[in-house]
Chains A and B, each alone.
Chain A
């Protein structure tokens, strides 16, 4: 089991640790709801060092593996993109930043080894920095915690000193709030975290990270998207560059826009439940007594004080307002399709 560079700090802060993607990670400190609400109203600090930071020199080479415009990504800018397989399925979703001297990609913890093998098998040089720390400061007060990065706008990226520590900072995150993701040398991670906590950030664990991203309508790799997911079905069409689709010069280009195999297209939708009982991943979704889909993520949403879910449904059942039943413990829980995100994003553009 791997530990992040902040492991000792988590234990000092009284975190409840759980295994996630081969890492011992903090699930919660004071409690998921309190940490979730702290992020929505103030600033929360997450250790996301389990994610894989890698360095890529060859933007054109990277472009052969993703549907996004990488050669057109200006220095100091970041973009969300997808590693696709030949069938148009999603190997991983990732953030790529142009740092001027090189590109940086941040990979999902559970996928980083698969991603790097895929990149290398396709002739892309990649230098891994899995030993580095990665911290996320998220919330409306994030800029007060990281004033050094106040000059960045949403999806900007820069090398900056934070609390005297050399960092790579992006204005982005996984909560729907304003905020920063800050990478630094592993050995400096604890000092950086201590400085950010001293400036008022509240430590938050993976539990709150999950409920925050779900309210923000953001997909979780392994739950909501995977190797057989078509990006269009997952409502990730914005990550498919028109220019790149027209050129058709990336792995999966033909498949990604082809009609879905087997006929009936599915779409990822947001679902609000009428009652208070949450529906979890794999709960069947019914319309008129017939199964039309399945929940892929579900939790009680602390900011809404109500349960929410993401799931795939038959495309004809995906219109906002469509009444659905989610089957939990053999009973139908009524709900309805609702536009995503569940709560508005709060990015500083």
Chain B
């Protein structure tokens, strides 16, 4: 089980054995968005900068950007959530992942929060 990191924009990042970082939005984020009805994902091969808007999620009422928590190149996207956006609600931190990035700098992961740090961050928002 690889360690999971979290951003203040409510994305999670899991570094796999293949060197690719799987990225999604947190359960907190999906709950705040409500019923998700549409997801737009980047084209594989696209280079994204840290903090760049790289995906869009739409709920019934509103659109929200998803920001790249780290810089890298999009290696793969989760077509399942395009076909069934509700997967992001039911499994935000599992089967509702968004994309896999080949990170420009793996060491940048240390700039993100661990679970305990993210939970503390969430507590400050309440």
Binding site for B on A (CB under 8 A): 28, 31-34, 36, 207, 210-211, 276-278, 280, 299-300, 302, 307, 329
Contact = CB atoms under 8 A, between A and B. Distances in A.
Contacts of A276: 37-38, 85
Main SS class of interface, A: mixed
A49 to B, nearest CB: 21
A31 B56 CA distance: 20
Given A211-B60, A276-B37, A280-B62, 8 more contacts: A31-B34, A207-B61, A210-B61, A276-B85, A277-B40, A278-B38, A300-B59, A307-B37
B72 to A, nearest CB: 22
Interface residues of B, number: 13
Nearest to B63: A280
B38 A32 contact: no
A229 B85 CA distance: 37
B58 interface: yes
Nearest to B86: A33
Interface in B27-58: 34-35, 37-38, 40, 56, 58
Contacts of B58: 277-278, 300
Nearest to A206: B61
B22 to A, nearest CB: 24
A60 to B, nearest CB: 42
A28 to B, nearest CB: 6
B85 to A, nearest CB: 8
A278 B37 contact: yes
Nearest to B89: A31
Nearest to B40: A277
B38 A207 contact: no
Interface string B53-95: 0001011111100000000000000000000010000000000
B40 A32 contact: no
A32 B63 contact: no
B35 A33 contact: yes
B34 A300 contact: no
A299 B63 contact: no
A259 to B, nearest CB: 37
B37 A207 contact: no
26 contacts: A31-B34, A32-B34, A32-B35, A32-B60, A33-B35, A33-B60, A36-B60, A207-B34, A207-B61, A211-B60, A211-B61, A276-B38, A276-B85, A277-B58, A278-B37, A278-B38, A278-B58, A278-B63, A299-B60, A299-B61, A300-B37, A300-B38, A300-B59, A300-B60, A307-B37, A329-B40
Q: Which among A34, A276, A307, A329 has the greatest number of chain B C-beta atoms within 10 A?
A: A276
Contacts of B63: 278, 280
A36 B35 CA distance: 12
Contact of B60 (A207, A277, A329): A207
A213 to B, nearest CB: 13
Contacts of A32: 34-35, 59-61
Q: Which among A300, A302, A307 has the greatest number of chain B C-beta atoms within 10 A?
A: A300
Q: Which among B34, B37, B38, B40 has the greatest number of chain A C-beta atoms within 10 A?
A: B37
Contact of B34 (A28, A210, A278, A329): A28
Contacts of B85: 276
Contacts of B38: 276-278, 300, 307
B60 A302 contact: yes
Closest 3 CB pairs of A and B: A300-B37, A33-B35, A32-B60
Contacts of A300: 37-38, 58-60
A35 to B, nearest CB: 10
Nearest to A329: B56
Nearest to A16: B34
A272 to B, nearest CB: 15
Nearest to B61: A207
Contacts of B56: 329
A190 B37 CA distance: 33
A300 B38 CA distance: 9
Nearest to B82: A276
A207 B34 CA distance: 10
Contacts of A211: 60-61
